[in-house]
């Protein structure tokens, strides 16, 4: 279930997207939640971003999964007992397919349970997997991660191996990341496992190129948030009046994205019955992508009630996939 409706400007705001848009554009400074990037158009744009040479994350994590698939299989098998390979934010499943293919060919006993906020991308994924892996047990869950996990825990019995790939954890600020992982921890049993991807601190120029590609797909991906408001909430954004601005702070590891107003302007959003004013140079914060080092990873695990069992690097040491298990210590 979503949040309960509330009334603003004589309009009942029922959907989470409408509510979050109103709250974000009313805030000082303004922001929009990055989870709304992923409608059908956003899904297409993100797939194009992942294929870019500048977007190193995809290739680095694919290399890890390819080189470590046997070791991961041995970790997951745990005396050859069946497990539920449960992926948070499955997307198009491109990287996960490396593991699916290997496990399927090795006759590993598992079921694949992808979770994603986008039902569109899950439908595409399910169709593709049924063609590529006949006989593979696949059950999709659309919606919020924790609501989906709660449904999954009621409907499925067995040990879970959770995949949280692609540095999605980087989309949370530190306190939010700890809170998210603590909530995840509470939904895991003692013998469950978690593989979590982290993008590492590195040359700032490499990072900025990944979020400001010359093809302009990252800019279009961010501007699609405004298009989505226009489509779904009767917004009147002229997207040519905004530009995409990425930043990176090497001391904190925070890469951030903003949409910046080129002019003084007012934008009406019909379904919110509200007009929002923008000054020239005023920004809308759209996304954080936190970069980590190994000390930060261990600290995050400890605060969230996990212990780090293994860290897998790519050859450039740009990225890691880290294997976690619930700690016997209480959550900090």
Total length of the chain: 332
The answer to whether residue 323 scores a pLDDT higher than 90 is yes
Q: What is the pTM of this model?
A: 0.88
| Average pLDDT of the residues of the chain | 93
Q: What is the pLDDT of residues 128-144, one digit of tens each?
A: 999 999 989 999 999 88
CB 238 within 8 A of CB 268: no
The answer to whether residue 1 scores a pLDDT higher than 60 is no
**Percent of the residues in the chain that have a pLDDT greater than 90, as a whole number:** 85
Q: What is the pLDDT of residues 230-253, one digit of tens each?
A: 999 999 999 999 999 999 999 999
Q: What is the pLDDT of residues 258-276, one digit of tens each?
A: 999 999 999 999 999 999 9
For residues 45-54, average pLDDT: 92
Hey, what are 109's tokens?
Answer: 């006993």
Give bridge partners of residue 195 from the DSSP assignment. Answer: 163, 323
State residue 258 phi and psi, 5-degree precision: -135, 150
> In the chain, where are the structural domains located?
6-51+206-290, 56-202+292-326
CA Rg value for the chain: 20
Q: Alpha-carbon distance 107 to 58, whole Å?
A: 27
Residue 4: what pLDDT?
53
Residue 260: what pLDDT?
98
Q: What is the pLDDT of residues 63-100, one digit of tens each?
A: 999 999 999 999 998 767 899 999 999 988 888 999 99
CB 178 within 8 A of CB 186: no
Q: What is the pLDDT of residues 202-226, one digit of tens each?
A: 999 999 999 999 999 999 999 999 9
Q: How far is CA 239 from the centre of its chain?
A: 24
Q: Alpha-carbon distance 244 to 304, whole Å?
A: 33
Q: What's the N-to-C CA distance of the chain in angstroms?
A: 30
**Percent of the residues in the chain that have a pLDDT greater than 70, as a whole number:** 94
Cα dist. 319→24, 58, 79, 223, 306 in Å?
A: 31, 10, 29, 27, 20
Q: Which of 291, 280, 315, 329 is nearest to 68 (CA)?
A: 315
Residue 332's pLDDT band, with cuts at 50, 70 and 90, is low
| Cis preceding linkage at 322, omega within 30 | no
For residues 20-24, average pLDDT: 97
The answer to whether residue 329 scores a pLDDT higher than 80 is no
CATH class of 56-202+292-326: alpha beta
Residue 5: what pLDDT?
55
The answer to whether residue 19 scores a pLDDT higher than 50 is yes
State residue 240 phi and psi, 5-degree precision: -65, -15
């Amino acid at each position: 279930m979503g949040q309960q409706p509330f009334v603003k400007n004589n309009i009942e705001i029922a959907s989470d997207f409408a509510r979050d848009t109103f709250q974000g554009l009313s805030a000082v400074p303004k922001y929009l939640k990055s989870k709304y990037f992923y409608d059908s158009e956003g899904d297409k744009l993100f797939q194009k971003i992942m294929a870019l040479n500048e977007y190193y994350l995809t290739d680095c994590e694919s290399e890890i999964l390819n080189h470590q698939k046997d070791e991961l299989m041995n970790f997951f098998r745990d005396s050859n007992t069946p497990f539920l390979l449960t992926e948070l934010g499955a997307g198009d499943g491109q990287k996960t397919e490396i593991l699916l293919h290997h496990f399927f060919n090795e006759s590993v006993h598992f079921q694949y349970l992808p979770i994603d906020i986008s039902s569109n991308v899950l439908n595409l994924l399910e169709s593709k997997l049924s063609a590529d892996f006949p006989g593979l047990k696949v059950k999709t869950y659309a919606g919020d991660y924790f609501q989906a996990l709660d449904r999954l825990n009621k409907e499925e019995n067995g040990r879970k191996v959770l995949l949280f790939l692609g540095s999605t954890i980087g989309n949370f600020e530190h306190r939010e990341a700890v809170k998210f992982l603590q909530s995840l921890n509470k939904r895991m049993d003692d013998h469950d496992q978690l593989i979590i991807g982290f993008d590492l601190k590195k040359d700032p120029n490499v990072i900025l190129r990944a979020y400001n590609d010359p093809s302009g797909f990252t800019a279009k991906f961010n501007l699609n948030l405004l298009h989505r408001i226009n489509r779904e909430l009767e917004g009147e954004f002229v997207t040519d009046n905004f530009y995409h601005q990425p930043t990176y702070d090497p001391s904190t590891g925070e890469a951030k994205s903003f949409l910046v107003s080129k002019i003084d302007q007012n934008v009406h959003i019909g379904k919110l019955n509200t007009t929002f004013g923008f000054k020239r140079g005023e920004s809308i914060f759209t996304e954080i992508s936190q970069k980590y080092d190994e000390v930060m990873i261990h600290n995050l695990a400890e605060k969230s009630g996990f212990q780090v069992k293994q860290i897998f690097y790519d050859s450039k040491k740009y990225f890691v996939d880290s294997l976690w298990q619930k700690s016997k210590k209480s959550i900090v």
